[in-house]
Structure formats: C-alpha cells, structure tokens
A = this chain, B = another copy of it.
Amino acid sequence: MGATEPQWVLMATGRSPTNIAVIKYWGKRDEALILPVNDSISVTLDPDHLSATTTVAASPSFPSDRMWLNGKEIALSGGRFQSCLREIRKRARDVEDEKKGIKIKKEDWEKLHVHIASYNNFPTAAGLASSAAGLACLVFTLGKLMNVNEDYGELSSIARQGSGSACRSIYGGFVKWCMGKNDDGSDSMAVQLVDESHWDDLVIIIAVVSSKQKETSSTSGMRDTVETSPLLQYRAQTVVPSRILKMEDAIKNRDFESFARLTCADSNQFHAVCLDTSPPIFYMNDTSHRIISLVEKWNHSEGTPQVAYTFDAGPNAVLIARNRKTATLLLQRLLYTFPPQENDLDSYMLGDKSILSDAGLQSIADVEALPAPPEMKAPNQKFKGDVSYFICSRPGAGPKVLTDESHALIDSATGLAKGV
C-alpha cells in the first residue's frame, strides 16, 4: 500500500464565513485555552465574498496529517490546528459509506490521519480575519467527516481553541462570544443573537488599505496589552459589559444609531488599549485615520450616523452602511477621496460589484467626475493609491457543507490537494 495507490479516501468539504467584531475581543485570560477577558459581538460576512472553503480527507493510506493552505503545503506543527484536530477526534463516531464500502468505527479515528486543504476567496494577508474563517471551517468540516454529533455551541468552543474569533464564525448573522467563567473553558463559546435575515438592510464595505509596515500579530499584541496596559482590565471589566448589553439591544431593535455609536467607540477603544501597551502597538495608519475622518464628518453633517466603522488588527476599514442607498453615497465619498491607482474600476471593487452601478460609477470617468462631498473642508485632498481595493459585502450565513464534489479541494484519487 503506497501513497500513489491509495485505499479508499473519505472526504468532506465545507465553507465557513469570516466575521468582524463590533464589540472587540482583545486579551486572553488563558493563553492555552484561548479564553478571553471579555465578551465580544460580531457580524458574519456573506461567504460569497469572504469565506474559507476546506476539504478534509481521511484514508488508511495517509502516513501522517498534512495541510495545504491556498495550494501551498504548510506545517501542521502549530498547536492551534492540533487542538482542533484532537478535540474533534475525541468526539468522532462510527461512519459508514455503503456506496464506497467504507466502514470506520469510532475507535478507528484515532489511528486515521487526515489531509486538509483550505482556500480563502479573499487575500489571506489582507488582515481580514482569515484565521477565523479557516479554523471555523476546519472544525465544522472535520465534524462532518467524523460524524460528530455535537451542537454548534460545542463546535464553536472547539473552534475557539484554534483561533479565538473563529468561534464566532460558526454562526451567521450577529453572534456573541460569551467569555464564560469556568477554568476549563467549557462555557466559553459563541451563541447566535439573530440570523442574517434579521437585519438585511446593512451593507458592508471593506477598504483594504495599503501598508508598508509589518504589523504586530494579534496573538503577541494582545499578550503584550494584557501584560502592560493599565487600561485594559478597566475596559474588560467595566466598559465592555455594559456595551455588550447595549449592543444586543441595538441589534435586536435594528437601532442603527446606537449600533453605529457603539461599534465606532469600541473599535477606537480597542486601538486605544493597543496604544496604551508597552511598547505601543499601532494598527491604524494615516489612511485609516482619513477614512474615520471622512465617516465622522459625514455622520456629523447628517445629524445621525449613516455609517459605522471598525478596524481590526490592521489598517483596513470595515464600514457598515445602514442601507444600500447610504452605501452608494459612502462609496462615492470613498472613491472621490481614494481613487484607484490603476485605471481599472473592476479590480478595485471586489465582492458585490453591483454596488458600483448603483452608485452611478461605471467607469473611471464617472469616478473622476464625482463632485467633492459637501461636508468636506479641503475638497482637493485626494489620496490615490492609499487604498488597494474595496470589497462590498453584507451580513451572511454560517458554515455549510458543499455536497457538490466539484468544490472539493482534495483529489479523491490521490488524496492530495488539487492542482499542487
């Protein structure tokens, strides 16, 4: 039995969305178990625009666990993948595929190695929570492969051990990660607040900001903040709990004004505790600041918030518009200030490209003809090249199984990642 002539290969393929926190997770109370210092709340993004697709395969012919990310094999030595694998294997049950003549008993899973192939439909390095989507997808898909019976809360708790924010990608819509109280982390898991149909007016535009700086990883950044910021514990213990309650109400009532104020304030406070870290951590740059200014000025001129902004551990802006009309007005402002470097509008707007025509922007000439937004004080300030591209999305659904074999990222004949 050689690798070139495998016995049966059993596979499952799943797709999981990424998510963006509107009340931020920053700081662990337990590094190994990934237990946070406060609750957090996120919105799941439409997997058509930002998601991970993962195929997991098991075969008696695999001599070891292997993984491919975006077509390149990567080491599986990291504790994060191992934790998820171990926890799912523990819960594996009997599997029988009569058509293929495969019969795996519960206890056999401990001896079977897996191959994992994962692919993000958005740039991994763009700082858009690719690990959240990826780890959630791994746990979800492994669970399917191994016929795990656990509910989504339990799966989210396993995904959490791979990457904290991954636990929130187990559901669609708006999701709360309850920090939990138990030392073993058993009650630190995500719950769905509302599904993606509850507030489907919202439009999400992401500005992927060009950056020359190497950024601090969120893992080491939050460790440094916990160890050195005098403000973090106050944020976690006093500020966040009341924000969580208000945010839950805002989401339940589709109260955009409260939602936007809380989202912006909490993003800014997360970056404030990063700055309060020794040495200080800067994730936002001048372009991020300009996008905030643009939104704040417009919101102020309208008297009530039209758009919320939030920034994760990087300079990219995630902008949440109250509805599609507002999103088109936002897009006009963004493209006025940040015109594309290349004369190509199509590659400057990813995701739901139809927002461009809704905003009356069919060509570069339309962008160049945009009038200065009336609320702008210095109308000739343009920053070509400071935004790499935009992605238009919306709140979306949770993980799902892809049954169509054409979506599989592993070749069932060889057991290896396709196209490698």
Q: Which of A46-54, A167-175, A269-277 contacts B (4 or more CB under 8 A)?
A: A269-277
Tell me whether B286 and A268 are in contact (CB under 8 A): no
Give, as a whole number of angstroms, the nearest-CB distance from A381 to chain B.
8
Measured CA separation A279–B261 after assembly (Å) = 10
Give, as a whole number of angstroms, the nearest-CB distance from A286 to chain B.
5
Tell me whether A278 and B292 are in contact (CB under 8 A): no
Which residues of B lie under 8 Å from residue A279 when comparing CB positions?
Answer: 264, 292, 296, 300
Name the CB-closest residue of B to A265: B278
Which residues of B lie under 8 Å from residue A268 when comparing CB positions?
Answer: 275-278, 280
The total of chain A residues at the interface (CB under 8 A) is 31
Name the interface residues of A251-277: CB closer than 8 Å to any CB of B.
261, 264-265, 268-269, 271-273, 275-277
Name the CB-closest residue of B to A239: B230
Tallying the copies of this chain within the complex gives: 2
Which residues of B lie under 8 Å from residue A8 when comparing CB positions?
Answer: none
Contact with B along A381-400 (1 / 0, CB 8 A): 10000000000000000000
Contact with B along A185-214 (1 / 0, CB 8 A): 000000000000000000000000000101
Which residues of B lie under 8 Å from residue A329 when comparing CB positions?
Answer: none
Name the CB-closest residue of B to A290: B213
Tell me whether A269 and B239 are in contact (CB under 8 A): no
Name the interface residues of A129-181: CB closer than 8 Å to any CB of B.
none
Name the CB-closest residue of B to A240: B230
Give, as a whole number of angstroms, the nearest-CB distance from A208 to chain B.
17
Which residues of B lie under 8 Å from residue A111 when comparing CB positions?
Answer: none
Which residues of B lie under 8 Å from residue A261 when comparing CB positions?
Answer: 278
A235 within 8 A of B: yes
Name the interface residues of A222-246: CB closer than 8 Å to any CB of B.
230-231, 234-235, 238-239
Query: Per a CB cutoff under 8 Å, which of B214, B276, B286, B292 touches A272?
Result: B276
Can you offer 8 A-B residue contacts whose CB atoms are under 8 A? A230-B235, A230-B238, A231-B235, A231-B239, A231-B272, A261-B278, A265-B276, A268-B280
Interface residues of A (CB under 8 A from B): 212, 214, 230-231, 234-235, 238-239, 261, 264-265, 268-269, 271-273, 275-280, 282, 285-286, 289, 292, 296, 300, 377, 381
Q: Identify the 4 closest CB pairs spanning chains A and B, nearest first.
A: A272-B272, A272-B276, A279-B296, A272-B275
